[in-house]
Amino acid sequence: MRPFRVGWLFFRVGAMNELQYRANFFVQLFKSVLALGVALVVLRLVYSHTAELNGWSESELLIVLGIQLVMGGIVHTAIQPNMQRLVEEVQDGKLDYALTKPEDAQVIVSVREVQIWQLVDVISGGIVIAVGVAGLSHGVGAGDVLAFAGLLLLGAVLIYCFWLIISTGAFWIIRMWFIAELFEGIFATGRWPIGIYPGWLKYSLTYLVPIGFAITVPAEAVTSRLQWTTVVVAVGFAAGLFAFTRWFWRFGLRRYSGASA
């Protein structure tokens, strides 16, 4: 429970900090509305040329888009700011301050930053999912919703692991200014069901970069495509990746010498 208590504490401090800058909320709202507008235009454009994309209807793709927005909101609120700070601190040798704290280092580097205004995307994504679900021809049962929520959480864990693994690379590569662009580029692939990608890319986007598990699989839960085997594989993969991430983080940390020392 301790990691969660520490996380909650940092979240409250971060939120209070951000609440001082309320105008940023409107800037973020404007950007989110704009990004959503573009995404909807793209969807409309695609479906003006076809009735279905690889078996997915427009409403179903709205759900995929909504999930990608929600996941993006979570990443930008709580994951990416922490990981970028980690990379910067490795480069500047400031990570010492985090390492000397009497708490698990991985927990500390994962919870220090929070950008609450980014949660706007979670809300707008939620609305898009709701609109998409309303347009489905079949109903969504309580079981589907439960599976969806669970898989979404699992997806967030997977993306956290992925971010921490590439950020840990900073212990070797040092200069990692490209990291945000790299992630955004790959993350954008999640806006479409990964089934449309050619085989080599599909498997990379599932196991190498867990976008498929994080976005397409929760979408499958809502659109009655989910198979039990997928859930089992997803849970097993998440547990394995989490353990690997923990090991890899400690392995990388051993290389850290600090610049100030």
Partner 1 sequence: MSALAEPVREESRLRSMVDFYGTTIRTAIQSEFQYRAATYMYMLGMVAEPVIYLVVWSTIARSHGGTVAGLTPGDFAAYYIVWTLVRNMNIVFTPYGWEWRIREGQFSGLLLRPLHPIHYDIANFAGGKVVWVLFYLPIAAGLSIAFKPTLHVSALEVVVFLVAIWGAYLIRTMALWLLGLVTFWTTRASAIFETYMMAELLLSGRLVPLKLMPGWAQSLAAWLPFKWTFYFPIEALVGNLSTASLLGGLGMQLLWTSVGGALVWVCFRASVKHYTAVGN
Residue 94 near partner 1 by CB under 8 A: no
Identify whether the C-beta of residue 116 lies closer than 8 Å to the C-beta of residue 14. yes
Out of 34, 146, 149, 243, the residue judged to bind partner 1 by CB under 8 A: 34
Query: CA angle at residue 31 from 26 to 36, to 5 degrees?
Result: 125
* Bridge partner list, 53: 56
Residue 92 near partner 1 by CB under 8 A: no
Out of 16, 38, 208, 239, the residue judged to bind partner 1 by CB under 8 A: 38
Print the binding letters for residues 179-218 with partner 1: x by CB under 8 A, - otherwise.
x-xxxxxx-xx-xx---xxx-xx-----------------
* Token output for 261: 């020392």
Residue 23 near partner 1 by CB under 8 A: yes
Name which of 202 and 246 has its Cβ closer to partner 1.
202
Q: Which of residues 46-75 bind partner 1 (CB under 8 A)?
A: 46, 48-50, 52-54
All residues at 6 or more sequence positions from 152 whose CB lies less than 8 Å from its CB, including other chains: 67, 70, 71, 218
Using CA atoms, how far apart are residues 170 and 159, in angstroms rounded to an integer? 18
Please report how many Cα atoms fall inside a 13 Å half-sphere around the Cα of residue 260, on the Cβ side: 8
Burial group, residue 131, by CB count within 10 angstroms (0-12, 13-18, 19+): middle
Residue 2 near partner 1 by CB under 8 A: no
Residue 171 near partner 1 by CB under 8 A: no
Name which of 124 and 189 has its Cβ closer to partner 1.
189
| Chain contacts with partner 1 (rule: CB under 8 A) | 23, 27, 30-31, 34-35, 37-38, 41-42, 45-46, 48-50, 52-54, 173, 175-179, 181-186, 188-189, 191-192, 196-198, 200-201
